[in-house]
Structure 1
Amino acid sequence: MSVLRSRPVLRWLVPAAAAVTVIGGGAAIGTFAAQAEPSLPPRSAAQLLVDIQTARLEGLSGTVVQRADLGLPPLAGLAAGGNDLLALATGTHTLRVWHSGPDRQRVALVDTLGERNIVRDGRDLWTYDSRTKSATHRTLSDSGEEQVPPSLPATPKEAADAALAAIDPSTEVSVGRSATVAGRDAYELVLKPRDEASLIDQIRVAVDAEEYVPLRFEVFADAADRPAFEVAFTQIDYRRPDADQFRFNPPPGTTVTEQSTGDKPDRDGSGPGRPSADEPGHPGAGDVTSVGEGWTTVVVAELDTDEVPKPEAGDAGPGGVVDAPALIGGLPEVSGDWGKGRLFSTKLVNVLLTDDGRLLAGAVTPERLYQVAKG
């Protein structure tokens, strides 16, 4: 069984780590093509922040490219072949996006093997996978608040909203060079942590100079000159998409699963009506807390020791997916006055799994995790 379906600990490693990276705050496989720097009227960081928050967006459609090279260990790369969330944390991905007000959105992830869609049309929420010819449908409440957003941002705006919401005194905010993104002139907002314990050097947000919509979002690791994670429009159209774009009709031969309002979308392998492994009430679920603030926040999860995979050497399991024991066994052993465990390291995130059943994750140095583990 896939490591991300069978055990809570590995399900934490990349989705949680990616969230810590984006919200808390290696060379990428190429960067978006650089163009001549446009000449724009001066604008302060405070003005740009207000512009972003007050921008009125009636609609848009476009193509988004997401690129990531987080420096994942080799075994994690193998595991990515069996899980969409883990795969999104590596390589290059192309998405088509449509937005028409607060209750109509569509995101399509396109790859060589097929297309996956998330479509919201009013209270109807559909997910569809052309590879498996399967779809799920939910009817949202009037507020739609129970909708679960993707674990990785689908657009620069989603990523920027999360980063800007986390701005506090630990963040230095400035204006960088102007740029051209998707044929649009843009200002660049630069966010830098003041705490040297953070693995993130800076986050850059390119903002449309006329519409004030984020067009590009980049995360740079410490001492790196290329982004470890970036998501950017390569084409954008601010005209409101036609309503037909949001009407989803399952293609012939599609297996449709109806989910009730209380169910979460099937993002981590849990079927309809089944709680995911990190929810209260699930066997092996434990308390999740955070230590610290801002860029150096560390998430701590108390795991049921019976659910923690025992490290074993081994190759990929059925379908090329690495089993949890093999993945854990491939991580380096670490120890100190806090105890013993295994360390999962990327350019932007470190995750410590201790032998006594704790998982600590953050966009911080291993030393910071050891300090928190010691208590």
Structure 2
Amino acid sequence: MTVFARRPALRWLAPLAAVALLTTAGSIVNSLTATARESLPPRSAAQLLVDVQQARLDGLSGTIVQTSDLGLPALPGVAGNSSSEFSSLVSGSHTMRVWYAGPQHVRLALLGQFGESDLVRNGTDLWAWSSKNNTVNHMTLPADAGSHPDTGTPSPGAAMTPQQAADKALKAIDPTTAVSTDSSAVVAGRTAYQLVLTPRDQNTLVGSVRIAIDGATHIPTRVQVFAKGASSPAFEVGFTSFDPSTPASSVFGFNPPPGATVTEHAAPTGSGQGSGDQGAGSAPAQGGQKAHVVGTGWSSVLVASVPGDTSGSSSQSGSLGTLSSTLKTLPRVSGSWGSGHLLEGTAFSAVLTDDGRLAIGAVPAASLYDALSAP
């Protein structure tokens, strides 16, 4: 389906994806009609997908609020002085400012209680700044990095209209997800359509995913993930203010603050594609094993190996040490698959085994144990 390959619908979720990577299973549509407010004409869900595909916007700016209520225990370093660090996004509520003027001009500012962290892409310059330690990381990218113009060349066997491509894509994923339309939402004071994705799989902890699509620009402006039986989202990221105009070029200029420690990094040597690219399903893991996915759709489980000691010893540092220290406070579990610590959230579960394996998915703990026992 060339239209989806050349113009991915989720590209307009880039400002949201910069905050957190949100992966959901596929969706289906049976030509249900969106019951929008009077200011919005009715649109079927398939038509809305095409609207997103064909959306054209030179730039945007706004404020994004991300809230996570995943049922996690209190995690060290996610509030106070650390709330301006991107690692804090796994818990609580966070406010960000975003500016976008094309893939080579992007700025994201995470605003904490006592500081700020910025990510800035300005042409070939990529900057990351943290006010906590006044540190700056800089990389000079290749001139064509992040620029993928649409050549308009169709793939073999994919000559079809955008509407036909949308219908075909939705039909293909019919077994996993039901997609309905809800009455239009209001996001950042703007009327929006809303798609509701409901898993057909009864084994998943996810009850629904709701995606709001701006009625005027057709840009996705909010994503909400609800656990089963919950009335409030376990995860939400969306605009509270939204300006669909191109920001001034000066917004993307960055000069290290006085006294900042600047570290230069080498640019990546490849495009991340081809034989040198290792996806999640082929990443090397400890002991020569590879990360792999057990199951399909919403109830799939990722099984990988965590490098290093998982005992939480003092020799550990950084995020792995924090993870191990946190897991030591969680319940111990065991079975034919081994033993370890269990983290149960409202929309996902995770097990870190004593032999260094990590199993995680939007499923109950029993499904993780089955995945760990699978050959």
- TM-score per shorter chain, which class? 0.7 to 0.9
> Do the aligned partners of residues 285 and 221 (structure 1) sit closer, same or farther apart at CA in structure 2, a change above 3 Å counting?
farther
> Do the aligned partners of residues 123 and 311 (structure 1) sit closer, same or farther apart at CA in structure 2, a change above 3 Å counting?
closer
Query: What is the CA–CA distance in structure 2 between the aligned matches of 1:261 and 1:144, rounded to whole Å?
Result: 10
* 1:8-47 matched pairs, under 5 angstroms: 19=21, 22-25=22-25, 38-39=37-38, 40-47=40-47
CA shift, 1:145, in A, is: 4.9
Q: Is the aligned partner of 1:52 residue 2:52?
A: yes
Larger radius of gyration: 2
Query: What is the CA–CA distance in structure 2 between the aligned matches of 1:168 and 1:219, rounded to whole Å?
Result: 19
Query: Which is bigger in relative contact order (C-alpha 8 A, separation at least 6)?
Result: 1
Query: What is the CA–CA distance in structure 2 between the aligned matches of 1:282 and 1:208, rounded to whole Å?
Result: 42
Query: What is the CA–CA distance in structure 2 between the aligned matches of 1:47 and 1:293, rounded to whole Å?
Result: 27
Give 1:68's aligned amino acid: S
> Do the aligned partners of residues 97 and 85 (structure 1) sit closer, same or farther apart at CA in structure 2, a change above 3 Å counting?
closer
* 1:187-202 matched pairs, under 5 angstroms: 187-202=193-208
CA shift, 1:24, in A, is: 3.2
Match for residue 61 of structure 1? Answer: 61
Query: What is the CA–CA distance in structure 2 between the aligned matches of 1:324 and 1:204, rounded to whole Å?
Result: 30
Match for residue 371 of structure 1? Answer: 370
Q: Which runs of 5+ in 2 are unaligned?
A: 1-19, 26-35, 148-168, 271-281
Contact (CA 8 Å) 1:107, 1:119: kept in 2 or not?
A: yes
State the secondary structure of the residue aligned to 2:178: strand
Q: Percent identity?
A: 43
Query: What is the CA–CA distance in structure 1 between the aligned matches of 2:114 and 2:188, rounded to whole Å?
Result: 26
Query: What is the CA–CA distance in structure 1 between the aligned matches of 2:99 and 2:185, rounded to whole Å?
Result: 24
CA shift, 1:123, in A, is: 1.2
CA shift, 1:290, in A, is: 1.3
- For 1:19-38, what per-residue CA distance to the aligned partner results, in whole angstroms no more than 9, with x for missing partners? 5xx2134xxxxxxxxxxx83
Q: Is the aligned partner of 1:228 residue 2:228?
A: no
State the secondary structure of the residue aligned to 1:49: helix
Contact (CA 8 Å) 1:95, 1:110: kept in 2 or not?
A: yes
Give 1:57's aligned amino acid: L
Give 2:346's aligned amino acid: K
Q: Is the aligned partner of 1:204 residue 2:210?
A: yes
Give 1:362's aligned amino acid: G
Give 1:45's aligned amino acid: A
Contact (CA 8 Å) 2:214, 2:221: kept in 1 or not?
A: yes
Q: Is the aligned partner of 1:80 residue 2:85?
A: no
> Do the aligned partners of residues 318 and 293 (structure 1) sit closer, same or farther apart at CA in structure 2, a change above 3 Å counting?
closer
Match for residue 288 of structure 1? Answer: 291
Query: What is the CA–CA distance in structure 2 between the aligned matches of 1:199 and 1:100, rounded to whole Å?
Result: 37
Contact (CA 8 Å) 2:310, 2:354: kept in 1 or not?
A: no
Match for residue 90 of structure 2? Answer: 89
Please, which moves more after superposition, 222-231 or 169-178?
A: 169-178
Query: How many residue pairs end up in the alignment?
Result: 305
After TM superposition, the runs of 4+ consecutive aligned structure 1 residues lying more than 4 A away are: 279-286, 321-325
> Do the aligned partners of residues 131 and 236 (structure 1) sit closer, same or farther apart at CA in structure 2, a change above 3 Å counting?
same
